[in-house]
Amino acid sequence: MQQSVSTPPPVQQGSAARPVYPWVLVAMLWAVSFCNYADRGVLTAVMPNIRTEFNLSLTELGLLSSAFLWVYAIAASPAGYIGDRFSRKKVIIVGLVAWSVVTFLSPLAGTFLVFLVLRALTGLGEATYYPTGTALISDYHGPETRSRALAIHQTAVFAGGGIGTVIAAALAQHYQWRMPFYVYGAIGVLLALVLGALMRDTPPAVARQAREGGSFAFAMRRRSALMLFLVFFFATSVSYGITIWAPTFFHNELHFNLTEAAYYGALTINLAGFIAVLCSGTIADWAAQRVRMGRFYVLSGGLLLAFLFLLPFGFFRNPNLLGLCLLLSGFCKGLFDGSIYAAMHDVVPPTARASAVGLMTTVGFAGAGLSPLLIGRLGETVGLGAAFSLIAVLYIAAVVLLLLSRRIVIDDMDDTDRTVAAMGKLEEQIA
């Protein structure tokens, strides 16, 4: 299997007339990312229905999300390797079709065990996207626009997780809990057909060197990349656990209906994150041009503030105050989300970016898979609200790691800049 060698010009140079396609690519991949997270949001929206359907405990209910996330985590590393070595366009499209078909089939499960297996297989399909999709965006966006491009793309995470969850809840409430699975699965297959006709593949210079280099091994040796793996583990553990359990908290503790619970427990977090990642991309690009560690300071500042706003959650019972906690912590976590992929791409050269993001996803989503179970277990003892406050401490661990790694990060960024400059010369030779 060879990389496609269509020849769109990469926009690493600062020319006056910038090509339009790099931003068209962001728009197309935004739609894929929206589907990726909307399909996850279906389960979040209908968890109370699933619990009733299969007569589950809170721990068993949490296992559905954990199974998805564990398979997602395991698959992300090989998916990133494949995204560096083969056609990124084909990897994205095949993954989109696979997870959409499994999403469509999931509500046909007659037992909890079958539903659990199908949910895990959804994670297998979805794992193919993020390492490859973010790498393809960085193939077409240089340092001047990379944070903004990836931040715009990242807004789809919150649009899919927020709007997608609310729409799924509304479909379930007005029809039945199976309906959003059918609708979202069909939309994904249709989107894959559009991408097949319109999307271009990796630029030739990146494709050529990726096939020749040891991208996976390189990412494992990069010290700053290893640090970001752990940071992502801590940050993702908190945010995913909260996002998965928040609608159920409002439904069970405050007796909201499914749609109201989705508004308070999902839309607040994701609306805040949507706005924050746009701010983060602009701030991070500005900061990176003035301070070498600019993007990394944005990461640490966002997580510190997210911790401070989430910590009091367990002490409130007023839904407006609870929603405000989620809104503010979600905004600050969004500052992190809008810069994390650009930060990884700053310290890792283009030929290893999908592999690095794949490994980071594996580590991060291993934590994300544990947190629904951890919060479910804590919820059975101290209550879900208190569990949210306790798990927020992991944000501080991530901040400490970021601030202690300054020297390593700067050294690796310098090495990446030298590699990119050498690849620019190769691109000229191929052209």
Tell me the per-residue pLDDT of 398-420, one tens digit each, with 9 for 90 and over. Answer: 999 999 988 898 888 888 878 77
Contact by Cβ (8 Å): 355, 131: yes
Confidence (pLDDT) at 52? 84
Residue 207: pLDDT over 60: no
Residue 184: pLDDT over 90: yes
Confidence (pLDDT) at 283? 85
State the DSSP code for 178: T
d(CA 355, CA 91): 13
Confidence of residue 11 (pLDDT cuts 50, 70, 90): very low
Helices 58-85 and 129-140 cross at an angle (nearest 10°) of 40
Ranges 16-25, 98-107, 177-186, 339-348: which has the least confidence: 16-25
From residue 99, give the alpha-carbon distance in Å to each of 104, 126, 169, 377. 9, 6, 20, 29
Confidence (pLDDT) at 185? 92
- CB within 8 Å of 76: residues ≥ 6 apart: 127, 130, 131, 358, 359, 361, 362, 365
Residues in the chain: 431
Residue 161: pLDDT over 50: yes
- Quick one: 21-430 is in which CATH superfamily? MFS general substrate transporter like domains (1.20.1250.20)
| DSSP per residue, 357-411 | HHHHHHHHHHHHHHHHHHHHHHHHHT-HHHHHHHHTHHHHHHHHHHHHTHHHHHH
Confidence (pLDDT) at 5? 36
Confidence of residue 293 (pLDDT cuts 50, 70, 90): confident
pTM assigned to the model: 0.69
- CB within 8 Å of 134: residues ≥ 6 apart: 150, 153, 341, 345, 353, 354, 357
| Mean pLDDT value across residues 296-322 | 90
Digit-coded pLDDT (tens) for 334-381: 889 888 988 898 888 877 777 888 888 888 878 877 888 888 888 888
- The encoded tokens of residue 29 equal 């991949």
Q: Reduced to 3 states, what is the DSSP secondary structure of residue 66?
A: helix
d(CA 245, CA 258): 13
Helices 58-85 and 223-253 cross at an angle (nearest 10°) of 150
Confidence (pLDDT) at 229? 93
d(CA 231, CA 180): 33
Q: Rounded to the nearest 5 degrees, what angle is found at the Cα of 341, between the Cα atoms of 77 and 357?
A: 10
User: What is the C-alpha end-to-end distance of the chain, expressed in Å?
Assistant: 23
Amino acid identity at 201 = D
Digit-coded pLDDT (tens) for 214-249: 566 777 778 899 999 999 999 999 988 888 888 888
d(CA 97, CA 147): 28
Contact by Cβ (8 Å): 8, 127: no
Confidence (pLDDT) at 287? 83
Digit-coded pLDDT (tens) for 253-271: 888 887 788 777 777 787 8
Confidence of residue 13 (pLDDT cuts 50, 70, 90): very low
- The encoded tokens of residue 27 equal 């728009």
144 CB burial (10 A radius; 0-12, 13-18, 19+): middle
d(CA 373, CA 241): 8
Contact by Cβ (8 Å): 280, 334: yes
Sequence ranges of the domains in the chain: 21-430
- The encoded tokens of residue 329 equal 């912590």
Confidence (pLDDT) at 203? 66
